[in-house]
Structure formats: structure tokens, C-alpha cells
Structure 1
């Protein structure tokens, strides 16, 4: 009935898409999206169309897991061809902008020799006019600084790229999704609406507050067929966990990977939300276990496993503020997280190192984040210090202990940490796996492999722990949980370097009287 009270089912999920590819920061932010479209997605589709069978075989090869292959059956080749044709037709402005960036960089390499840059402006491609500034650093290295807010007002940012697919959690690991466009499917509700659409907020708030099918139909602008499909995502009762709030003291829950939920009776903080929707599975917390309202969401950095739109979109309307690190302003590998999220309808606060953000029952302090970004000049990364219910908690994410003296400064400023959460993905992907599309000057394979997306190893984690004075340390952010595979594509066994390093660190903790733990699935701490 159109007026009956309904809730969104526990297992409902959303896949946010841009030109049918799974969306993440580098496919949303305009300059980075243009380069990824031109230098990775279009060539990948062209490669698939030449050899669908090669891509199909590579997609199911365990040794190539996480490779950029299109995992679509050759029977649907014509649909991929149609997608490629539409991209080349409808995204011509973006493709021209990507080409203009490459030409601009080439101009600087040839003509920026340390003298006045003003004569170069007329030589820039017209697509860059008014959107970049040419600069030198103090070592006479020339660069283009992008005026990023203007890019969102230009033809390079096209909201009609955005759409969502709504479906029920399949209960099995989804295949790696960053390389494969999502085609239509009879069991998926497709909505050609931008991510900021108010109807999505209305839909996902129905996890905690009842609504009606008629109201959702109007909010999402559904036709009869879409409304019928939506009904399969709705239930007559909520599926919220009874213990999602606490009555006293403090609590931390580990939700998998880098996601922690820190609570007092007065308020709550969530870090890097990447959360399962499959409440039928044991051994994990899901969206049902989140508090109804979240005061702060803390984003540590812009990688696709830490700012996860699939989860964030489901929290819009239930979050007070998303706290994000401040970028370098206009540096190509360092897009503004705040600008991207604001254009998706989120309330956002940018922070610098040692900025404080209060929340009911505690406070958050942004702290420095070293390493993990392939030595690129990326400043939109932050660790966090959370104080709540008498505890001081360090949230380290993927940061590295390459310079442990830094953490001595943190301790001198903020005191000893009671609990530290550290990532130890110490043999990460090479530079080109994530950033190749942004590199207009090729790098050698050896150079790429030497600059990895790596966090701390055992020695560095021990140094961080020592300098922070922490007596309890938990290793997290490893991407081992099975519900993360469609984004993470990580594969470990007992002999992999990362696991061996964790074992070495755990032994160090035991030898030094420190409580250490390697987190997996779910865990809870109460005091």
C-alpha cells in the first residue's frame, strides 16, 4: 500500500557510478576524473573490445586479482561498445581537458626554464584558460596549479555522469569493481540521478525512521516499474541492533578495515566508514549496528578504501560533520576531499594538523600523517587523536613510522596514548596502480615499484608505539575482511610479508609488556 509505514531493508546497498564505473575520489574530482577517463577507462574499454576473452580470463585469475581488466562476458560486448561510444560523444569536454593538461605539462617541460612564466599563458590550450596558474617552486621546478573550485563550475564537471544502482547485498564477495563498468541487470534498480539528490537521503534515512512507498516514489522520481523494483528493498520493520547506543562509559567497535566507531552516551565518531550491509553473516558489525546519529565522520585520506561513497551516501542526513584533511590547493595528485563531498551534499569541515574539533562527550585532534602516498606531494591526509570517556586514542590509518620523532611531538603536545590503532600494509601497490592516469610523464617500472602505497612495517610500528607511550596497540586497516574485496582486492596468506611483519610486531609487543592484537572481522572495547 502506498501509505503503509516501511523501512529500508538491512541488506540494501547502493553502488555509486560515474559513466557506469564505480565512483571514488579520483573519478569525481574534475581534473583527476578527466585524466582517469582519458588515460585509464577509455583505453581499458578499447582493450576489452579488441580481446574480450583475454579480459575475462584475467579477471578470474587469482594471481591478477586487482588488475585493471574488464570483467564482462563477451556476449555483452555490444553494450560495452555502446558505453565507449557514449563516453567519447558525451564526455568530449572532459577528454579534451585531459589532453590539454598533457599539453600544458609538455609546454612547461620545454619552455619553463626559470624565467618569467607570463609569456607561456597564451600558449596554453584554450581548455585551461582561467582554470590554472603557472608557478615555480623555490627550486625552479615549474608546475600548473589548478583553481579547483572553478573546475566544479566548468564543463569538466558533469553531474549527468552520475547514477546509482540499488540492490540487495548478494551475500557473496563481489568481484573487483574499480575496473569494470556496471551494466544494467534485471535485479538492480537503476536511477539516473546525481549523488547529491535529496531522494537518496530520504531513502537511506528510512533505515532508522519510517517512511511510505508513496513518499519514496515522489522523492526518487520513480516510474511504475521502478517503484515496483524499489518495493523489494523495503520492509515493514526496522532491522536496527538494540545495542547500537550505550548508556554509560565509553566504547570502541571495530567494523573492519579502517572503520572504528567510538561512542559515549552523548556522542559518536566514525573513522573511514566502509561497512558491510550483510546482517545475515556472523562475525561482523553492519550498518544496523551504527548509532542513529553520528556526530563526526573522520576521513584519514582520499584513497578508495578510506573514503567509500557506497557507505557515505547511506549516512547522509545522519551525520553532523565529515572531518577531512586540508589539501595543498590545486596540486594534481591531491584533489580537495572537502570540495568533492560538498558537491555531494555533505556537511564538511577541513582541518590542518593539530586543529581541534569537539563533539558531545569528547574531542578530536588532527595529527600528521607521514608516507603511504608514493612520495607524491599529497597533503590531504591526517591521522587523528580522539579523547572520550577518559581515554586517549590514536587513529593511525595507513601512516608510516619513517620518521618516529614526529610521534614524540604528538606525545609532547597531547600526552600518552592509551590505545593506538596502526595500519601495517607494509608492501602496498606500486605508484602506477593508483596514480598512472595522472602521470603525464611516464615512469619506469622500477621507479614505480620503488614508490609504493605502503604503511608501517614492524620496526616502524614499534617506533610509533614507543614514542606515543601506548600500552595497547591494535593492527587494523589491512583489508582482510571478505566483504571488502570488490574495492580492496587484497590477498594474504600466512607467509606474506605483511603477515610476517605483524607477527614480528606482536612479538615485540609481548616482549615489551604491551597489549597487542591483529584485528579481523569485529571487536569491541568497553570501559
Structure 2
């Protein structure tokens, strides 16, 4: 490998970490990150240290896949204890902030009786001074609203928590991201730098343009040992696909999960980028198949499988605009996606329902997203209508068909749809699986189990397609791709309810003369 003509290897794995846990919206956003640290991650580490072997066995049990078990061998329990000790010592202010949020919400529940709220402010914990407002809704129910931009300022938002672990993909499924911290290990390079560090941008641009070992080592502030490790992640030759751009017409490529790449010669659009690291396996597109420049990245919602930092970080310097749905401002379960992505160095704009972005030869329209968030008041979610090369596409993510009339209204606003793409995870995880750390008032298991992170079943998906007037309809793979298992942790078989519902939906489409399919791996549409 020459020192001044180096590219990153195609199978480079990038894991963004906060206090050694995999980074996603609810662990990076300052208020939510504090809550998850105090009420989920610290108790999880404490539980592991009480019974390491039980955690290890559970983490390898297929029946418990996706459960909150630490998959670290017992021989490394002292390292886990050191991690827990460092969190208690170095993140003491964050742990206090989390408890302050819980105490404040309890104080408001007890003290807001429909009368003037002014006397409550002196009773709020000092950690929240200047960070919150207390207000009633029109049902006379009071709640705490967080002034989130202030929480991203130094003192509350500690980028010292952040680091990045680099390794090479080896074909072995990584541990589940919500439960197992990433300890240093042989073959990894741990970068103790924040996610917005300029050196990371330089590193990831070396996928599409040559750099050099010396240049990258300096940009990443590496010592001699780090430089030697980095050399193993570089190669002399780029591995980019020769057909990653198009010269005429329009094209849509399916990259897996909910990720689509929409292209004409004038524009490139990527939805919910969650893209495989190349491991030599055929049958799927990888980061090497992306166009060099992406005009728009469309994010549908904040779940960890749709706004994926390990992919988004690698697009810094290549993206014109990341489009995110606007949040409700101040709601604990609905943090700002804009602030989150801006904090890692991406250019972001927010959209509301039916906001429109025009590009040469087409337009993007944000359309409503219904359900799939366990009935929580989360506004930062959007589907998208795209006019591309003379055809109309609807990108539905996990939006539910619980109210078909919504999609009739969408069609009335944007027109008939040629192709609809949507998910059918219709038996999702219960409320507490993802949101437990943010619930400051206990909820019964029966309630939690009734409120699932579910999209459309066959009947609901059929209603969506009918109301949109779609000529074609395609269902995402919904986590069936094994290379996404560290995030999805799904285990389907031929008798799984979700797959049976997909079969039923496809049969209904066939009866109506609608071309339909269940996506997996890679697929391409051209016109």
C-alpha cells in the first residue's frame, strides 16, 4: 500500500459509541441519553456483574434474541466493572440530571392541579433550571417541556462520552446494539474523538477519493500504534461500483431494510440509509454502490433501524441535505432529529407534513406517518412522496393503515401513486422494549404489551395501497437480512405471523392486478 494513494477497505465496520454503548438517538440526545444511562444502562451493567454467566447464556439464546443481556464473556467482567465505575464517576452530573427529570415529572403530576403553575418552578430540581417549561394542555393536564437546544450546549451535552470503534467485517454477527457495550479488543481501532471530528470526515471520504496514511493519521490524531492499526484498514485500490451513477432515465435501487436509492442524472436521493459493509457475499448493494454525491437523505423517523449513525457518519462530506421530520419540541419521547444530526456534522433541514422540496425534474413532499410508536405522542415521523423521472413514488416506512382515510387525503394532495414501498412489521416489540428508560411513571406489562411498535398488517397495507391508487407495491425485508442482525435482532420463520401477513397482502394484490413483491437483498427498477 502506497502512503499517498490509500482508500478505506470496503468491509470497514464503523461503530459510534457513547460510554462504550452503541450510539443512537436516545443515547446521544442529552436529556434522553441521561435517562437511558441512569435507568437502563447502569442497571444493565449492575445486573451483569451480579451474574455474568446468566447474561452470556441469555445473549446467545435464539429465543431471547433482542433482549437486554450483556453478551461479554465472564473473563472480562473486571473491564465491565471498570466501565461502570467510570460512568458513576465521570457521568455523575448526567445521572443527577436523569433523576432530576424523573423528580420534576413526579412533582408536576402531584402539584399541577389546574391552578397557576408559577409556584411549581422553585420546587423543580436545580439541574433543570433554565432548561424546562411547565404547561397545561387543553385537557388541563400539565407536563414538563424541555428547551432542547439549550441541552446541546457544553455542560449538559458532553461529547467526551463519544468515541468510534473501527474494525473489519468478519462475517460474525455483532452483539445486539441496545444491550452490549463494545470493549476494546484485538483487531479494533478505538478513536477517542467526538462524532463531528473533522478527521472522521476525511477518513470516510477516502472511500471515494484517495488519501494517505500519514494524512489520515494526522487528521485522526493517532499515535504510532494507532497509525499501524489504521494501515490495516486501508488499501491501494478503490472498490467502488462502476455503475453507481446513471447517464439517462431514472432508477430506484433497494439496498436493504428501508433503504432505497433514487437516481436520475440530475439528482440522487437516499432513504433511511442502513447499508451493509461488504463481506464478499453477493446479492446485495453496499456502500460502494452509492453515488459519490447524494443530494437528499430522507429520514422517516427516529428508531434505531431508520436513523443509523454507523451509515450516516460515513456520508459526511457527500450529502447536500438531510431531510428530517420536525419534532413536537420539548416532549421527552420526541427529541429533535435535526439537533441530533447537526451535532455530528451533517447539514439538516426539518419538514412538516406536506412541505415540498423541488429538484431538477421532480419534487419531494413530506406526507403524514401514522402509528408504529406505541401510541406515544411522537411527531418526528414522516413518509415521503417523490416525483422522479415522470413517475410517482410513495416511501411509507412503517406507517400504519389504522385509518385508511389518511391515505385518501394524501392522494388528494399529491396525486395518484405509481409505486408504493412500505413495511409490514405488524407484531412489533412492546412499548417498554424501547421506551422504558423514558417512562417516569410505571406502566403495567399488560398495557405495554397492548401498545406495540407495529406497522401495517395485510388488511391495513391493502387499504393503504388501495387509497393511494398504487399500481405497484413492495414490502421491505423488515430485518430479515442477517447482516443487519446486530440492530434488528429479529428471528422469523416460515410460520411467523409477519411473513404470513405479507403472503396474504401479496395474494390480495395479485387478485387486484397490482404488481407486488416482498423485497430482500437487492432489486432495481428503471424507466
Shorter-chain TM-score bucket reads over 0.9
1:79 aligns with 2:79: yes
| Partner in structure 2 of residue 467 of structure 1 | 467
Q: How many aligned positions are there?
A: 527
Pairs within 5 Å for 1:22-421? 22-421=22-421
Cα distance in structure 2, aligned partners of 1:154 and 1:231 = 34
Shift of 1:361: 3.6
- Render the CA deviation track for 1:149-177: whole Å, top value 9, x for unaligned: 00011523100000000111112322312
Partners of 2:259 and 2:270 within 8 A in 1: yes
SS of alignment partner, residue 339 of structure 2: helix
**How far has the Cα of 1:362 moved from its partner?**
2.3
Deviation at 1:227, TM superposition (A): 0.5
CA distance in 2, matches of 1:112, 1:380: 27
CA distance in 2 between counterparts of 1:473 and 1:391 reads 14
d(CA) in 2 for partners of 1:427 and 1:181? 27
Name the SS of the counterpart of 1:196 in structure 2. coil
Counterpart contact for 2:477–2:518, Cα < 8 Å: no
The aligned residue for residue 429 of structure 2 is 429
Q: CA deviation at 1:77?
A: 0.6
In structure 2, distance between residues paired with 1:39 and 1:361: 49
Once the two structures are superposed, residues 433-479 of structure 1 have per-residue CA deviations (whole angstroms, 9 ceiling, x without a partner) of 00000001010000000000000011111111011000100001511
Unpaired runs of 5+ residues, structure 2, are none
Structure 1-normalised TM-score? 0.99
SS in 1 for 2:440: coil
SS of 2:144 mapped into structure 1: strand
TM-fit CA distance, 1:423: 0.6
Q: Per the alignment, in what secondary structure is the counterpart of residue 106 of structure 2?
A: helix
| Distance in structure 1 (CA, Å) of the matches to 2:107 and 2:356 | 43
Stretches of 4+ aligned residues off by more than 4 angstroms? none
The CA distance in 2 between the partners of 1:77 and 1:503, in whole Å, is 46
Equivalent residue of 2:437, what SS?
Answer: helix
CA–CA separation in structure 2 for the residues paired with 1:3 and 1:436: 49
- Contact persistence 2:246–2:264 (CA under 8 A): yes
Whether the aligned pair in 2 keeps the contact of 1:373 and 1:452 (CA below 8 Å) is yes
Query: What secondary structure does 1:165 align onto?
Result: strand
Deviation at 1:3, TM superposition (A): 4.2
Checking the alignment, whether the CA contact within 8 Å between 1:296 and 1:359 is kept in structure 2 is no
Match of 2:482 in 1: 482
Q: Whole-Å Cα distance in 1 between the matches of residues 230 and 29 of structure 2?
A: 30
Q: Deviations over 1:324-350 (max 9, x none)?
A: 000000000000000011111100010
For 2:288 and 2:260, the matched residues in 1 are separated by 14
CA contact (8 A) 2:100 2:127 kept: yes
SS at match of 1:71: coil
**Cα distance between partner residues in 2 of 1:200 and 1:361:** 34
Give, in whole Å, the separation in 2 of the partners of 1:421 and 1:196: 32
Secondary structure at the aligned position of 1:357 is classed as strand
**5+ residue gaps, structure 1:** none
Aligned equivalents of 1:9, 1:358: Cα separation in 2: 36
CA contact (8 A) 2:297 2:323 kept: yes
Deviations 1:70-113 (A, max 9, x none): 00011001000000000000001110000001111111111110
Aligned to 1:491: 491
Do the aligned partners of residues 2 and 170 (structure 1) sit closer, same or farther apart at CA in structure 2, a change above 3 Å counting? same
CA deviations on 1:125-145 (whole Å, 9 max, x unpaired) are 100110000000010111000
Q: Is the 8 A contact 2:170 2:279 kept in 1?
A: no
The answer (yes or no) to whether the contact 1:295–1:359 under 8 Å persists in 2 is no
Q: Secondary structure at the match of 1:480?
A: coil
Q: Deviations over 1:396-450 (max 9, x none)?
A: 0000011111111111111110000011000000000000000010100000000
Q: Any idea what the Cα deviations from partners look like across 1:223-248, whole Å, max 9, x if unmatched?
A: 10000000011111100001101111
Contact 1:399 1:456 in 2 (8 A): yes
CA distance in structure 2 between the aligned counterparts of 1:295 and 1:358, rounded to whole angstroms: 11
What secondary structure, in the 3-state scheme, does the structure 2 residue paired with 1:210 have? coil
